[in-house]
């Protein structure tokens, strides 16, 4: 082979090698690396509606090939984590009141994908066949309820609202207001209903008790417990760019209260000590397949 032919052969070989490298994929060339499939959901400690929704979305997304982790923290650290990019999303932002300060503080670094439930509120609930329908009539019928109003934890916001708003506004000072714990309240509620007795308890929506028991909310004409709030999906900035498909699903996501009550009832209305709800949620999803399938359709 003469010198000119040798140089030509070497040039062709180099070009072929470069072509092979270019065809090898994004990791070693100019093509972008494969997009991450890892998603971290921040779950508020002690907020069952957000935990329930998070478990459902964990299963839904994993069936679509994503790797999903649930990480628990209080509401403040989750919002801060979203702003810093430590979490990808959270499903429990309450507006316009409960978490308004977090939305204001981190507004430039988080994205609100919208509300998935519009029926979050504090309530006073009674048995469905109780003789009254409004808090305005409770004082005059206190004897029908054993002169008792059953509350939850003394330090809860609902307890404060009841003490500072409901009781003085509706003249319930002569009723015994019993505070202890949420489990104790639920036990009293169940016991009274089983005995066919009237009972009045402090409660909130969403809660599985609305699925488990035949109860109704008393109207609050003076608005002492505040207006209904909505529960929002919140993401870190850039999430929609990194996971456009998931962001589209979450933006369209809704879960009405009856569906949520059913899910929470399956998860939390149990005597067993449960730390991982995966199997319970999978069973619930199989029983509500049409709803679950529609989440990503």
Q: Assess whether pLDDT exceeds 90 at residue 18.
A: no
Q: Assess whether pLDDT exceeds 80 at residue 207.
A: yes
Pick the CATH number of 120-217 from 2.40.30.130, 3.40.190.100, 3.20.20.70, 3.40.50.620: 3.40.190.100
Q: Assess whether pLDDT exceeds 50 at residue 252.
A: yes
Handedness of CA 252, 258, 262, 265 (dihedral sign): positive
Residues of the chain with CATH 3.40.190.100: 120-217
pTM over 0.85: no
Taken as a whole, the chain contains a residue count of 297
Strand partners, 38: 67
State the Cα–Cα distance between residues 205 and 216, nearest whole angstrom. 11
Q: What is the CATH number of domain 38-118+229-294?
A: 3.40.190.10
Q: What is the pLDDT of residue 166?
A: 97
Q: Assess whether pLDDT exceeds 60 at residue 137.
A: yes
CB 198 within 8 A of CB 145: yes
State the Cα–Cα distance between residues 267 and 277, nearest whole angstrom. 7
Q: What is the pLDDT of residue 234?
A: 98
- Using a 10 angstrom Cβ sphere, with 0-12 exposed, 13-18 middle and 19 or more buried, the burial of residue 169 is middle
Q: How crowded is residue 165: how many other Cβ atoms within 10 Å of its Cβ?
A: 17
Residues of the chain with CATH 3.40.190.10: 38-118+229-294
């Amino acid at each position: 082979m003469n010198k000119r032919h040798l140089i030509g052969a070497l040039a062709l070989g180099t070009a072929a090698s470069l072509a092979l490298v270019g065809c090898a994929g994004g990791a070693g060339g100019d093509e972008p690396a494969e997009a991450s499939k890892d998603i971290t959901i921040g779950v508020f400690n002690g907020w069952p509606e957000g935990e329930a929704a998070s478990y459902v979305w964990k299963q839904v997304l994993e069936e679509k090939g994503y790797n999903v982790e649930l990480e628990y923290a209080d509401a403040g650290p989750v919002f801060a984590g979203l702003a810093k990019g430590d979490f990808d999303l959270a499903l429990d932002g309450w507006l316009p009141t409960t978490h308004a300060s977090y939305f204001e503080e981190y507004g430039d670094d988080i994205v609100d994908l919208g509300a998935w439930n519009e029926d979050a509120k504090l309530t006073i609930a009674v048995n469905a066949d109780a003789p009254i329908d409004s808090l305005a009539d409770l004082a005059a019928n206190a004897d029908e309820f054993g002169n008792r109003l059953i509350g939850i934890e003394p330090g809860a916001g609902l307890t404060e609202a009841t003490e500072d708003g409901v009781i003085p506004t509706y003249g319930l000072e002569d009723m015994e207001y019993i505070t202890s714990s949420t489990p104790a309240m639920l036990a009293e509620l169940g016991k009274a209903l089983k005995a066919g007795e009237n009972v009045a308890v402090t409660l909130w929506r969403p809660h599985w008790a609305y699925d488990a028991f035949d109860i109704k909310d008393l109207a609050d004409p003076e608005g002492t417990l505040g207006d209904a709030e909505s529960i929002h999906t919140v993401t870190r900035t850039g999430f929609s760019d990194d996971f456009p498909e998931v962001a589209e699903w979450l933006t369209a996501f809704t879960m009405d209260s009856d569906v949520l009550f059913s899910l929470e009832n399956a998860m939390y209305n149990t005597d067993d000590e449960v730390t991982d709800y995966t199997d319970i949620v999978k069973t619930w999803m199989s029983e509500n397949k049409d709803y679950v399938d529609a989440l990503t359709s």
